[in-house]
Structure 1
Amino acid sequence: MIEAIFAFRALPGKEDELREATLAIVEPTRKEDGCIQFVVSEDTSSPGTFFIRETWRDQAALDAHFAQPYLQDLVEIHKRILAEPLKMHPLKVYP
């Protein structure tokens, strides 16, 4: 299994746009083959700061996710409205 947390923050004034764009990929992502978990959260003390926790069956499933057109569209949006580059935190999961 592959598990990671992604952290990213909107530029001031772009919080709603980032929220809308991020939430738009939840449903199609959860339907992807190999997606075990895909959860979007927003920091209540810092609106516009988001986290996505993802769990995938294997690297091939995650790679397929990264190639999805709707994810590529989100990456293009990120280029315009993120305050800093998205940070991926790969996780080691203990039993």
Structure 2
Amino acid sequence: MIEAIFAFRAKPGKEDQLREATLAIVEPTRREEGCIQFVVLEDINTPGTFFIRETWRDQAALDEHFAQPYLKALGEIHKEILAEPLKQHTLKVYD
């Protein structure tokens, strides 16, 4: 299994827009083949700071996820409303 963790923060005043755009990809992502878990988290103490934790069957499933049109659309939105570049960690899961 592969786990990916993303961290990102909205520009001031863009918190609601980022929250809405991020939550819009939850359901279609969870329906993807190979998606085991997909969770969006927001920092309680710093609204507008988000994390996504996702678990995939394998790297091929994660690669397919990255190719989805709705994820590419979110990337375009990120260009306008993120305070800094998205941080990504891709991890191998050992059971």
TM superposition score normalised by structure 1: 0.96
Q: Which residue of 2 aligns with 1:7?
A: 7
> Identical aligned pairs, as a percentage?
83
Q: Which residue of 2 aligns with 1:66?
A: 66
- How do 1:65-84 and structure 2 match up within 5 A? 65-84=65-84
Residue segments in structure 1 that go unaligned for 5+ positions in a row:
none
- How do 1:1-95 and structure 2 match up within 5 A? 1-95=1-95
Residue segments in structure 2 that go unaligned for 5+ positions in a row:
none
Query: CA-atom RMSD, angstroms?
Result: 0.9
Report the secondary structure of 1:50's partner residue. strand
Residues paired across the two proteins, number = 95
- Cα distance, 1:89 vs. partner? 1.5
TM superposition score normalised by structure 2: 0.96
For the residues of structure 2 that align with 1:45 and 1:57, how far apart are their CA atoms?
A: 32
For the residues of structure 2 that align with 1:7 and 1:26, how far apart are their CA atoms?
A: 16
Query: For residue 14 of structure 1, what is the amino acid of its counterpart?
Result: K
Report the secondary structure of 1:89's partner residue. strand
